[in-house]
C-alpha cells in the first residue's frame, strides 16, 4: 500500500504531481512532410493485411502509420477498416 501511494503521489520531474507528458491532439490534423502539407489518402483493410505490409506498400514506417491512425498495441486491423495514408 505504501508503494502504491508513493507512485501515485510522486511528482514528475518536469511537471506537477498529477500531470503526464502525454499530449492528446484534438480536431483535424494536417500532416506535414519536410515542411509541406501532406495529402491524405485512405486504404481499406483487406483479408490478410497487417500494419507492416500496408506500411511497406506505401513506403512509410508501420510506427508512423499507427500514430497517424491512432492505433495502439496489439495493432489489430479489421477487414473494411480505413487507414489514413499520407501521400509522399
For residue 52, the enclosing domain spans 30-88
How many folded domains does the chain comprise? Answer: 1
List the CATH number of the domain containing 46.
Answer: 3.10.350.10
User: Is 14 a domain residue?
Assistant: no
pLDDT digits (tens, 9 = 90+) for 23-69: 444 444 455 545 556 689 999 999 999 999 999 999 999 999 999 99
Domain annotation covers residue 23: no
In a domain, 8, yes or no: no
Rounded to an integer, the average pLDDT of 8-13 is 42
Identify any residues that bridge with 83 across adjacent strands, giving them in sequence order. 43
pLDDT in tens, 23-36: 444 444 455 545 55
Q: What is the pLDDT of residue 87?
A: 85
In terms of Cα–Cα distance, which of 57, 34, 56, 48 is closest to 78?
48
Residue 3 inside a domain? The answer is no
Evaluate whether residue 4 is within a structural domain: no
The answer to whether residue 5 is domain-embedded is no
Can you give the C-alpha Rg of the chain in angstroms?
18
Cα separation, 78 vs 88, whole angstroms: 25
Please name the residues in contact with 29: beta carbons below 8 A apart, sequence gap of 6 or more: none
Does 85 reside within a domain?
A: yes
Alpha carbon distance 28, 30 (integer Å) = 7
**Residue 9 pLDDT exceeds 60:** no
Question: pTM higher than 0.85 for the full model?
Answer: no
Amino acid at each position: 500500500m505504501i508503494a502504491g501511494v508513493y507512485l501515485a503521489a510522486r511528482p514528475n520531474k518536469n511537471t506537477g504531481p498529477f500531470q503526464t507528458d502525454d499530449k492528446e491532439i484534438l480536431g483535424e490534423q494536417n500532416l506535414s512532410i519536410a515542411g509541406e502539407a501532406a495529402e491524405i489518402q485512405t486504404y481499406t483493410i483487406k483479408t490478410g493485411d497487417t500494419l507492416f505490409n500496408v506500411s511497406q506498400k506505401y513506403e512509410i514506417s508501420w510506427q508512423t502509420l499507427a500514430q497517424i491512425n491512432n492505433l495502439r498495441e496489439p495493432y489489430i486491423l479489421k477487414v473494411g477498416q480505413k487507414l489514413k495514408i499520407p501521400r509522399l
